[in-house]
Each structure stands twice: as C-alpha cells, then as structure tokens.
Structure 1
Amino acid sequence: MKQEQALLSEELFGLLNGTNIADKQHEAIMLQTVGADMWPHTAMISVGELLALDRSNLRLGLWAGTRTAENIIRTGKAAFALCYKGKAHYVKLSLEQLAPLPGARFPGERFAATVTETREDEAKYAAITSGVQIQLLDPGSVLERWAQTIRELKS
C-alpha cells in the first residue's frame, strides 16, 4: 500500500536543505526507529546527515553497521523529532535503502525518504526556547565531512 506524502514546514525545509550547515551545526535531531526486539531506538543525527531535497523527499546518510541503519533496512520506517524556532517538530518517514555510492569519501548507508506525516507542537502558554543542541569538538573536520556527506546524498 502506498503511503501518502506530507510536507515539511518551510522552517524545517530551511534547516535541512543542505545549505549553510556551519550556521546550523548546533541543531541535534532525534531519529527514532524500532529495534528487532520491538523497543524504540533513538539516535542523534545532525544537519550533515539529513538532507531535504524538497518538502516531501529527503535523503539520510548513516554510518554502516549501526543499529539505526539496521532498523531502517529491516522496517523501512523512521521518525525524527526536534525543537526548532520555538516549536517541537515531529516527522514520520518511509525509507528505501540506496545503492552504495562508488568512491564515497565517507562510506555508509544512504536512504531515500518520503515524508508521510508531520506535526508541529507549540504551547500558547509557554515558548520552547531550545531543543537538544551540540557543540562540535572539531568543527573544521566535522563540517567538512558533513558537507561531503550532503554532496554524496545529492547523488
């Protein structure tokens, strides 16, 4: 059965469009999958691993052999959540594994994703002032790897 497509908000598309990743380096995204034991599994990813090609189609690049990658290969599903620009964002994805990219500088698992459901949450009585944020220990090398990963996800 074909999943219906949904659209990322303009805010999320702007965050995940692969541009200006140095300016977005502190944003952390909680990627959720379901393990073989049927328990939820959460991994933290970045704007250097998730690319919005448009508002309904994304690419995801993960390290090979991780539990997260294995869960996606097995189920074809994942969801991510993050707090950004004063809102909590929840996105469900349907994914397909992409073939390995010959000559990839940072080989891993690549996935094509379709947005199947989105939800935004904001309270009328409180502002979300931050979500999970990170501080890169070696920004130069990490940002270069992310830029390369984004180029490879566009392939």
Structure 2
Amino acid sequence: MKQVLERRFAHFLAGDAGFSDRPDALLIDGGVEHANVALNVLRELSIDIPVFGMVKDDRHRTRALVTPDGQEIAISAVPAVFAFIGGIQEEVHRFAITYHRLLRSKRMRESELEKIPGIGEKRRQLLLKKFKSVTAVKNATQQQLCEVLSEKQAEAVYAYFHGGKDTEEA
C-alpha cells in the first residue's frame, strides 16, 4: 500500500496528466495501522490530506471511520453516511477485482507465447503489438507471422499452435 500511495502522489506532485486532482480526503480500507501508513506517506511528501481508516463489522461492512490516532467515528447511526461509505467500499472492491482479473488474463495470454521455443520476450511483445492477442497469433498464417518474425521463428510459432505442422498446407 505504501508503494502504491508513493507512486500515486509522486504523479500528483509532478503534475502528470490524470493525477492533477488532489483528493479532499483518503478513505483507507483498513484500520488504524493502514491509516497511519497512508498518513506517513503523505507527511513524507509534505501533502496535507485528512486520512481515515474504514473499520469493518463482523459482516465485513464498514461500521466506523478511524483516524490515524485511533479515534473512531461511528457512521452506522447516520443511514445516509453509512450507505455512502458502503457504496464507496463496494466500488473499490469491484474495481480491484476487475483489475486483478485483467492482470490474470494478461498473464495467461502471455504465458502461452512463453512456451514456444525460440520466442523470447522481445518477439512476444512484437507478436502482441502486431496481432493484439494470442488468439490472433494462433490464427495467423506463417506468412503473416513472417511480418514480425524470421522464417524459422514463424515456423516454430505456427507449428506450436497447429499441432506440429510446420507449413500452412499440412
């Protein structure tokens, strides 16, 4: 979490596009310890933003906010605040799951190309840049593969995806 916050706020301080909006507050999915990590990162960068941890109940719903010094702020007594914080928590959870699925899918696609003898990282990148997906690489003809690979490499890729057949006619 520390590294994520450091990267995020380094972009903010550098004025990078997409990072120019300063948040009004940080809601951290975690208790006092997580809130303190976030607060320390902000202090190291001389950024003054209020930080609150989200304290969960036994059903994993946020029941309170907590300051880095341990002061709890109950939210369950105010239904609108409870619903608002709960909505934020659900959106963060949805975003995290979607992002991790994307990463897993990307790793799975790339790993298929890693299995091909003689095709290293640079060639995999060239193939994905040209064909956009492993499926498109698999469906490419040897001639199309030769647009980014040597003839020998194109034969190896084609043979890998077509059961050892090393020509398009086989």
Do Structure 1 and Structure 2 share a fold, with TM-score over 0.5?
Answer: no
Q: Could you state the TM-score of these two structures normalised by the residue count of structure 2?
A: 0.21
Q: Could you state the TM-score of these two structures normalised by the residue count of structure 1?
A: 0.22
Higher relative contact order (CA closer than 8 Å, sequence separation 6+): 1
More helix by share: 2
More strand by share: 1
Larger radius of gyration: 2
